[in-house]
Every structure is written in structure tokens, then in C-alpha cells.
Structure 1
Amino acid sequence: MKIVIASNHGAIGGGEVMLLNVARALRSLRHEVTILSPTEPGELLDLAKDEGFSTISLEARDRKSYMAQLRVWRAHHRDAFLWCNGLVPALATAGDQNRLVHLHQLPTGIQKFAYGVAKKGARLVLVPSYYVAERVPRSVAFENWVAEVSDSPKVQPQEPHVRIGFLGRPALIKGTHTLAHALKLLNDSGDRRYELLIGGEAKFIDASSQEKVNLALDHLGDKCRLLGWVDPGELFSQSDILVVPSEVDESFGLVAAEAMSARMPLIVSDAGALPEVVGRDYPWIFRQGDSLQLAEMILALDEMASEDFSASQDLLNRSYWRWFENYSPESGKARVAEIIKRIENTD
């Protein structure tokens, strides 16, 4: 089957990571795959070429010109099945019946109207979790997946602190301030010291939100380290517990899935699809925005790790196998094969 995957834009974000995951799975299933993207920025095209994928570059520097170019291109190339990786290519090709729409976020605000137009004619609408599928009528849950993060040996700290890791953009919607408040509560009330390690950079954050996050981090003093952009494995090797404290309804939970693959002790908020990813019966899910409950969970998980090794390892192993069965590349490939089978059966 000849398949063209049209990107949402040319930069690398979570949606583009999934685009490459899908492309790899399709290629391994012996389909002819081409990746289509605007020339600027060219990050996605460069990565696709490095991996040996056929590419189509459209001369476009902004969203409007990209959508116009894509619609013109599609009018002259209707033979290939089009995998619209995001709302932008879906909207640009609205009405085309030889395609599917793959959303990576729950449409909100004006995106709801755009989606109502974009889905017309599509054979399937894929969304990244059952949480989103329940909120997007007639969509199909097509869960994301991540490569295994190796269980690297722990880097021992110079001082005996409990190191709490945070991976992603430090921002209000990601709950970074709530995590900082929780650690301050622990440091002010106990003998053990808790240090926050942040792996990520503050991109696309408005100044007011950034100021509030910075103030919360400043309250930790020297018990906060900003590592900048790092690979997940690098942060995990330096952390004792990873916290995903999101305060926005997450459509999936890539960081949580990565931590599960690495057998990393993990605490998540109840935001969006995060409980779905870790499992509804997972014991370490706290109410988003509740710094006191988060502090209590960090303390309890830290105590379990140090006092009950068997229970701790059993929890990590169960999380690992949940990742393997649901969010590994092997499981992702099986989902792609099922989607292609559904498409072929509608021809």
C-alpha cells in the first residue's frame, strides 16, 4: 500500500515523534511510505531523510501557505492514501475520502470548529487515548507508544538527598509549581531533604506564567537544579522518583510511559489520560493541583522504596509489563497493522 504521511508542521514535537513512529511501523509492515512536510522549519524532513524515508517538501514558511500548497499537491496526487498527522493537514484536505485524520490533542476552543470541517470525508479519525475517544464522537483510540528507555545505573548524588525528577516544559499547565510547593513542604517539615531536578526548557510559555513558576522554584533555593534539555534516560539515572504533575487534561502521557519502560518509580496527577496510561488501579495518582497530597505520596513512595524492596520492585515490574503490552513499539506496530486492515476492508 502506498501511504503519504502529511505532517502538522516541520518542527519536531510530540506529534512529529509519533509520525516517525507510525512511519517506521508502516515500513516494517512492507508498505511504501513517504513523509510530506513544509520546507521551513526543516527538522522533520532532515530526520526523515536520515532514516531513509522518501520525502516530499512543500515550499512553505507559514501555516497558511503550507495548507494551500498541500491542497494543491493533493489535487494532483490522489492515488496514495493520505495519513493526516494533525489538524492542519486534515483541514487542508477536508472532503478527501482517501485519507484518515490522526489527532494528537483533544480539540478545544476554535479547534473544535476546525475539526468539524477537517474530518469530513475521512475514513477514520484516530486519537491518542480512550480518554480522548470518549470526547470525540466516532473516533478510534489509537494509543501512542514509546521506545524503551534503558534502565541505566543510578548516578549517586554527592549529598544524601532524595532526588525528584520532572521531565518537560516547566509551566503552570504542567504543574511544575505544584511539585515545587510539595517539595518545599517536605523540606520544611522533615529531616530528609528533597531536591528537584528539571529536565526541559520553558518554551511557548507566556511571561506571567513563567514568573509564577520561577517564583515557586526560587523557594526551593539550592534544592532545585535546571538541567536543560536532556534525554529521558539521563534524567532517570539522576532521579529517585519521577513526578508528572500535569494540570491540563493530557491527551496521553508520553513521559509516564517512558518512565514505565525504564522501571522508574513514578507519581502522576489525575489529569486527563494519565490514569489511563499508568492503570486505574495504580496506587500513586494524586489530585492535580494538590501539593499536600503530592507531598504525602512522595514521602510514602520514598519510604516504600527504602523499607520494602520487594513491594517496590513488584510495582516497577508491573508498570514495565503494562508499558510492554500497551505502549511499546511492538504493540504500536500491531495497532498500525489493524488500522491498515480496517482501511483495506473499506476499499
Structure 2
Amino acid sequence: MVTKTARPRSSDEVVTSGRGPVHFPLGPFTPYEHNPILAPRGDSWESGSVYNPAAVVVGDRVALLYRAHADDIVSHVGLAWSDGGYVFEREPQPVLSPSEDYDRFGVEDPRVTEVDGTYYLTYSGWDRDRSLLCLATSSDLHTWTKHGPLFPDFDTFQPQGRGETGAWSKAGGILRERVGDHYLMLFGEGSIWAATSRDLLHWTPTTSDIDPPLMAPRPGTFTDFLVEVGPPPLLTDDGLVLLVHNAAVKDPDGSVRYTAGQLLVHPERPQEVLAELTRPWIEPLTHEERHGLVDNVTFVEGLVWFRDRWLAYYGQSDSTLGVATFVPGDRWSQVLPG
């Protein structure tokens, strides 16, 4: 059973927006005609690339927690605000930076979920040897407490492997609603797994990396090389869990092409896929999405309901940041890309 939690609100408390309609599949999404909405600037910490943003609605604004770095490719997380969801004003300094051994060469690819006034941000800590999924918390999006790696012994690239041994984990999306007496996280790069928690700080995988994952790459499809959790999952109007995921294929020359799909799971049986898209709902089409630090990438990490629409925020070829829009009730003005 999924429990929707309510919380009291004081006069000075930050209030998040209401929940939007969630059906499977979500969309169609139309990329914003004025993308990219954020790009590298200056000669400082965000001069090289700006991409892969988490998103959350705070009061009547959209906040983006985005990954950025200079030419050294040591990533920080920046914060930007928008009154309308499309034009953003950036804060001058990052709000989360490398500080520990496990993330000393990068805090990468954030996802964020707000529960009872606390923001739970998952990110990839990079030490140039391995990537580990980490957690940080905040009450204001500015000051963060790091809680360290969540799964220090887990390799999410199983069962297919990644050509190396040892721990590796990325991409944690936390469902905001409680499932019975626990919370649910879907996580993983390579394959996708599930974990549960009573307190949102300590997480236990529902299976080990020697068991079958929730979702693994499928040969001959747009998920051929790897799958990876996108934004935090959403509770649909019929009580199921919708996950937007990223997926990649590898070309003969070793390059990759990233698109995004969706799947549907039961909240109490998260290892069971009930439905999934057989083709991507967003893919590299524009110049920015085809050319960048890593070519041919649309990588979705932020998804919010804001006013009358869904806004999906994504990295464009690991270099710039774009947004795509879905307004429920509009005519299907485009078909899913083939």
C-alpha cells in the first residue's frame, strides 16, 4: 500500500507545488524551441560543461541543481531558479562540491526528492577509480550534509558486467510517497535495482547484485548497452510507479547514443516490470544534442509538475542543458520518435 504523507506548514515554511496527473506513458514531450536553457559561462567552475540537472518546485519557482565543471572535469553542483520553468538565473557559487575521499574528483549527476521539508539529494561520488552513489540532505538547497556512499559494495552493472570488477553505483531516484512502512528507491547504471529505507538515510537493496535486476539491457533495442535511472520515480493516478530511465546503445566505433524510456512497476513488487515503452520518448536531434563533450546524448534527470505542465530537464551531450514540455490535454502534436 502506498501512503501519501501530509505535513503541517508554518507561515515561514517553503511550500512545494501540488502533485500533477501521472499516467503511463507520460507525454508526448516537446523540446523547448529556445534550448539550451543553460550553457557554460566564464572561466570558473562552470566554464566547461553544464548538464544533467535535478529539479524541484519550491513555492512558485523551479529550482535546478545542475552538474557543471571546468576543463578539469571535476564536477560541482550549482543552483539556478526560474519563475516560469524556462529562463533561469544562476547563483554564483556551487552549493555542493568535492570534499571527501569518495567524491574528491567530482560530485556528479544529482537527483532530488523533497519529503517533509527535507531535500534528499543522491549523486555520484567520483574518485577516478570508481563511482559510488552518495546521499546528501538539506533544508534550504544551499547547505548540504553528506551521508556518504549508500551501496559501497554493490556493482549495478551486473549481470552484464562492465569489463572491471569491484563496486560501482550511480543514479538513485527516491519515490516521495511511502510504500507501507518504508520508502522506495530505484537506482543503478548498467542495470536498474530497487532499495528500501525506513528513514530515507539508510538504504537496503531488495536483491543482491548476483540476483536479477529490475531492468537490464536488452539486445537489439534502444537499451542495448545500458539502462540507468532518470529522475525520481512518480506515483501514478492508479497507484503504480512510473520510472523515466535513460538508455544507451554502443556503436561499432565505441561511441554511445543516449535516449530515454519509461517503465511501470508495482510499488510493493518493484522487481516486477508491468509495462514499458518499446521506443524512446526523447532522443538526440538538435546540434547541441548531437555534439558536445560526449556526442549524441539526451540524459534526463529532472522532472517536475509546474502549474499546468510537466517539465523534463536533461543534459545535451554532456555540455548544455535543455527542457522538454508536456501539457496534459493538448493534442498529440507529435508521434514518439521511431
The answer to whether the superposition gives a TM-score over 0.5 is no
Taking structure 1 as the reference length, what is the TM-score of the superposition?
Answer: 0.25
User: Hey, which of these two has a bigger chunk of helix by percent?
Assistant: 1
Taking structure 2 as the reference length, what is the TM-score of the superposition?
Answer: 0.25
Could you say which structure has the larger radius of gyration?
A: 1
User: Hey, which of these two has a bigger chunk of strand by percent?
Assistant: 2
